[in-house]
Each structure stands twice: as C-alpha cells, then as structure tokens.
Structure 1
Amino acid sequence: MLSQPDPVRLEIFKNLYQFIAEQMGIVLQNTAASVNIKERLDFSCAIFDASGLLVANAPHIPVHLGSMSESVRSLINDQGDTLKPGNVYLSNNPYNGGTHL
C-alpha cells in the first residue's frame, strides 16, 4: 500500500516553489530592458522537474505554459549528460515551442 503524502508538507513545498517562480519574475522584470517585460509583463516563469513536467508557476501570463513543457523537454534532450544540479537555463527558441521568454 502506498503511503499518502503529508498535506501540510505538500502545501509548504507548493508555496515555496510558487514563491521561487514569482521571485524569478520579479528579477526578470527589474532587470529587463524590454517594455514588453517591464510594463506589459509579457512573460512567464515556472519550475520544471527533470522530465520536463511543470512543478510550479508564477501567475504572470499562464497561457505561455502550454508549450513550456515541450521546450523544457527539448532543452533536457539537447543538454543530455551536461545537466547538473543547480544549473539554470533560459530559453526562447521558437523552434522548440519557446515563443516567449
């Protein structure tokens, strides 16, 4: 029998990862030169697992998230064995589903 996840721990980690994604957006907005990012907030930030599945996202423009998993999977396949814990990747490759930053 599988044990049930601890609902308190799940809530804590959900909020932690969502907070990290929101902070990613704040840093992007504060350092961007583009009006589309600084003023229109036309971007999305999210955290994905090692297989490209969405873990958490910030509530910027969630419609971008529809193609992000495929973009992340493509990036994972391209990087192969060079992916290491702590690495961070930014992508807006239009050929792999990344139409926005």
Structure 2
Amino acid sequence: MDAVTLAILKGRLEQIADEMDATLFRSAFNPIIAEAHDASHGIYDSQTGETLIQGKSGLPIFVGVMAFAVKAVIEKVSAGDDLNEGDVYIFNDPYDGGTHLSDFRLVKPVFRNGAVFVILLL
C-alpha cells in the first residue's frame, strides 16, 4: 500500500471513530457522558482485537482496557458461535475489560463482503 492511500485510510478511520464519539456525546441523557465525555470508542482488528484507531474526544483511561473487551468477545465467540451481521455484544465483566459497575461495553462486528472486517467498540 502506498503512503497516500495509507494516509487516506487512516484519516477516514479516525473520522469514523470521532463520529462515534460525537454521536454518543450528543445523544446521551446522562451528563457524565454528555458533558464530561466519560466514554471512549475505537475500531479494532477483527482477528487479533488490537486497537486500530480510537476516538480523540473520549477518556484515554478506557483505551487501555478496551482491547481486552474485544479480545474477550473474539475468544468467546470463536469457542462456539460465529460473529454474524447484526450482532452486538454488551457486557461489563471486570475480567474482560470492564472498569466499574456503571461502565459497560458494546462490541459490534462490521462486515464487508460477508466476512468480519473490523470490530467497533463503544
């Protein structure tokens, strides 16, 4: 991949993550989320669960544990079912990327040509 294409893809992925941030903050009823931006979002590799891009407006403290949440979903799903279009996993397990009781994770696979392309995390 050439440098120009890479820069374009990087910019687009960053914009998607930033729009995830903006949508949640704009639509949240809870002032902790809407005003303090007590949340983070990211786009993750569908095979390894590693962070590809994270939103710039969220709290960086969550970024350290969010990859664990994605990896936990990949491991649990690969042990039984497959990821399917329309699936969304919600949990707050402290051993799998949860931080405290009021925090939860939404993990959603995104498909392209019938295969998981990336995984989004709120």
* Alpha-carbon distance in 2 for matches of 1:91, 1:19: 26
SS of residue in 1 equivalent to 2:49: coil
Of stretches 80-89 and 23-32 in structure 1, the one that deviates more from structure 2 is 80-89
Query: What TM-score results when the alignment is normalised by the length of structure 1?
Result: 0.81
The equivalent position to 1:69 in structure 2, one of 64, 67, 70, is 67
The equivalent position to 1:44 in structure 2, one of 40, 43, 66, is 40
In terms of fraction of residues, the more helix-rich structure is 1
Q: Which residues in structure 2 correspond to 1:16-55 (within 5 Å)?
A: 16-50=12-46, 51-55=48-52
Query: What TM-score results when the alignment is normalised by the length of structure 2?
Result: 0.69
SS of residue in 2 equivalent to 1:40: coil
Q: How many residues align?
A: 97
Following superposition, which runs of at least 4 residues in structure 1 exceed 6 angstroms of deviation?
none
Change in 2 beyond 3 A, CA 1:49/1:91: farther
* Alpha-carbon distance in 1 for matches of 2:9, 2:68: 24
* Alpha-carbon distance in 1 for matches of 2:96, 2:3: 36
Q: CA deviation at 1:87?
A: 4.7
Q: CA deviation at 1:33?
A: 1.8
Q: CA deviation at 1:64?
A: 1.2
The letter for the 2-side match of 1:24 is M
Residue segments in structure 1 that go unaligned for 5+ positions in a row: none
In terms of fraction of residues, the more strand-rich structure is 2
Identity of aligned residues (%): 34
Change in 2 beyond 3 A, CA 1:71/1:18: same
Residue segments in structure 2 that go unaligned for 5+ positions in a row: 105-122
